[in-house]
Amino acid sequence: MPNPTAAMLVIGDEILSGRTRDANMHFLSGELTKTGIDLQEVRIVSDKTSAIVDAVNALRADYDTVITSGGIGPTHDDITADAIAAAFGVSIDVRDDARALLQAHYDRQGSELNTARLRMARIPDGATLIDNPVSVAPGFTLGNVHVMAGVPSVFQAMVASVLPALTGGAPLLSQTLRIQRGEGDIAGPLGELAQEFDDLQIGSYPYQKDGVYGANIVIRGSDSARLNAAMTKLSGLFPA
Amino acid sequence: MPNPTAAMLVIGDEILSGRTRDANMHFLSGELTKTGIDLQEVRIVSDKTSAIVDAVNALRADYDTVITSGGIGPTHDDITADAIAAAFGVSIDVRDDARALLQAHYDRQGSELNTARLRMARIPDGATLIDNPVSVAPGFTLGNVHVMAGVPSVFQAMVASVLPALTGGAPLLSQTLRIQRGEGDIAGPLGELAQEFDDLQIGSYPYQKDGVYGANIVIRGSDSARLNAAMTKLSGLFPA
């Protein structure tokens, strides 16, 4: 049985402008791979309602699970919750349980739950909350879409909250062989190996460092015996 | 007049699996911002023909320029050139000028232009070549789609080859103010500022470090006088 599939949607003007380098995608891809869920697509869109709506609707139709990051804070550019509600065609308003979480948090801090902060209690109809042990303001799950914060520490905590509920397949294992020869020298035998082991994914990731060409050959699959067999054959083809 | 728009398509199993952290997107976003071209969307898809074809066709219809990275090497998993040809509905074959470039290069190196390497001379009908001063094997431009290598040093060289031909708008300028207060405390006045300066983009990027909450407020626009005016007002609202 093929592994469940996932897509990620990053709502991130700051990444598209080059100001920030994404960290959440890299974290999530590693976690999903360990869980046996295939991350098959990532989209990064800007803070525009239409861009978010279109991307969410395309991805939730195509993949088993969608995880979004960013845009659920209290400022004017935090429009993700409203966009998700629009994508699903449901209404959205401040919800009592989310408001209670925030009220208790700001009471403890001695801060005011002002209008801006109350935006973070806006939850689309029918969603369930995602626990946020870092900064309280919750994410939410609607259908197969999990909506999380963009701040990496909060995003990671929310992934940890959701991941156990996602049923993964067998974890994807990988082995890597670094070959210090140009891809053009190894491509022929490598292609034959990929045909022989067509139940595995064999990828060639070239590098060039100080004028020396090489490639990391990564073999992925969930059957460790097959993985070992392919790696043994690969090492034999290209002895160090 | 609004700035020209761009999208990037990363063909990258190795990024989706979490093995590699993307570098090309971060580089390209910075270069495009300097040039006055708005990078509005990035998609990362796996090494599957249908995924590449669908993404290229969606992006080239929606944006002025599309830049792809990855999948144009000599190995079995390098399928980008064929996928681009399929997306445009044109044929693809080894082209004489590309073959001549490779032949001269491998002659100089004393290597053989074998079948695998010859794959890198497969160019879709009607494309123009993109110069690759690093490792010779060319990228290509077809319509508004620029197809480049995934190895960062080669990708960067190809971007440098193409960028002067892309007509940008006024470079996007930005100024940042770091405010050591939670977003919830600043969101109200910030939203009003964003309304007053609605010709600028004002983004709030929260952070949380050692339990302290803050936000970087980034103001972007191409009119430096307006930018200065907004930043002056912002600094007045939230004195350090």
Q: Is B41 on the interface with A (CB under 8 A)?
A: yes
The minimal CB distance from B74 to the residues A14, A172, A187 is found for A187
In the prediction, which pLDDT does B184 show? 87
In the prediction, which pLDDT does B211 show? 73
Distance from CA of A184 to the nearest CA of B (A): 5
Chain B from 137 to 166: CB within 8 A of any A CB: 150-151, 153-154
Arithmetic mean of pLDDT, B176-184: 89
Arithmetic mean of pLDDT, B106-129: 94
Are the beta carbons of A187 and B218 separated by less than 8 Å? no
Residues of A in contact with B119 (CB under 8 A): 187
Are the beta carbons of B116 and A191 separated by less than 8 Å? yes
Summarize pLDDT for B23-45 with one digit per residue, the tens.
899 999 999 988 889 999 999 99
The minimal CB distance from B29 to the residues A16, A40, A201 is found for A16
CB B80 within 8 A of CB B70: yes
Question: Across chain A, what does the average pLDDT equal?
Answer: 91
CATH class of this structure's domain A5-165: alpha beta
Chain B from 177 to 196: CB within 8 A of any A CB: 182-188, 190-191, 194-195
Q: What whole-number distance in Å separates Cα of residue B183 and Cα of residue A70?
A: 14
Q: Is A175 on the interface with B (CB under 8 A)?
A: no
In the prediction, which pLDDT does B124 show? 98
Strand B139-142 vs strand B145-148: parallel, antiparallel, or unpaired?
antiparallel
Total residues belonging to chain B: 240
In the prediction, which pLDDT does B134 show? 86
Domain ranges of chain B: 5-165, 173-237
- Residues 6 or more apart from B199 whose CB is under 8 A from it? B221, B223, B226
Residues of chain B above pLDDT 70, percent? 99
CB B38 within 8 A of CB B81: no
Summarize pLDDT for B197-213 with one digit per residue, the tens.
999 989 888 887 777 88
Arithmetic mean of pLDDT, A35-40: 92
Question: Across chain B, what does the average pLDDT equal?
Answer: 91
Are the beta carbons of B42 and A39 separated by less than 8 Å? no
- Residues 6 or more apart from A108 whose CB is under 8 A from it? none
The minimal CB distance from A183 to the residues B20, B73, B201 is found for B73
- Residues 6 or more apart from A68 whose CB is under 8 A from it? A8, A9, A10, A11, A56, A80, A84, A145, A146, A147, A148
Amino acid, res. A192: E
In the prediction, which pLDDT does B7 show? 98
The minimal CB distance from A39 to the residues B16, B42, B78 is found for B16
Arithmetic mean of pLDDT, B171-198: 89
Are the beta carbons of A116 and B39 separated by less than 8 Å? no
**pLDDT higher than 90, residue B18:** no
Confidence at B103, pLDDT banded by 50, 70, 90: very high
Of A113, A163, A150, the C-alpha closest to B208 is A150
Arithmetic mean of pLDDT, A220-224: 86
Distance from CA of B90 to the nearest CA of A (A): 25
Arithmetic mean of pLDDT, B111-127: 95
Residues of B in contact with A207 (CB under 8 A): 151
In the prediction, which pLDDT does A1 show? 64
User: Residue A124, class by beta-carbon neighbours within 10 Å (0-12 exposed, 13-18 middle, 19+ buried)?
Assistant: buried
Q: What whole-number distance in Å separates Cα of residue A191 and Cα of residue B75?
A: 7
Confidence at A152, pLDDT banded by 50, 70, 90: very high
Residues of B in contact with A26 (CB under 8 A): 15, 18, 21-22
Q: What whole-number distance in Å separates Cα of residue B51 and Cα of residue A219?
A: 21
ipTM of this complex: 0.87
Four-way CATH pick for A173-237: 1.20.1260, 3.30.70, 2.40.70, 2.70.98 = 3.30.70
Amino acid, res. A3: N
Are the beta carbons of A75 and B187 separated by less than 8 Å? yes
**pLDDT higher than 90, residue A184:** no
Distance from CA of A187 to the nearest CA of B (A): 5
- Give chain B as a DSSP string: -PPPEEEEEEE-HHHHTTSS---HHHHHHHHHHHHT-EEEEEEEE-S-HHHHHHHHHHHHHHSSEEEEES--SSSTT--HHHHHHHHHT--EEE-HHHHHHHHHHHHHHT----HHHHGGGEEETT-EEE--TTT---EEEETTEEEE-SSHHHHHHHHHHHGGGS---SPPEEEEEEE-S-HHHHHHHHHHHHHHTTTSEEEEEEEEETTEEEEEEEEEES-HHHHHHHHHHHHHHS--
Summarize pLDDT for A112-147 with one digit per residue, the tens.
999 999 999 999 999 999 999 888 999 999 999 999
Of A195, A86, A204, A211, the C-alpha closest to B20 is A204
The minimal CB distance from A43 to the residues B39, B43, B176 is found for B43
Confidence at B71, pLDDT banded by 50, 70, 90: very high
Strand B122-124 vs strand B92-94: parallel, antiparallel, or unpaired?
antiparallel
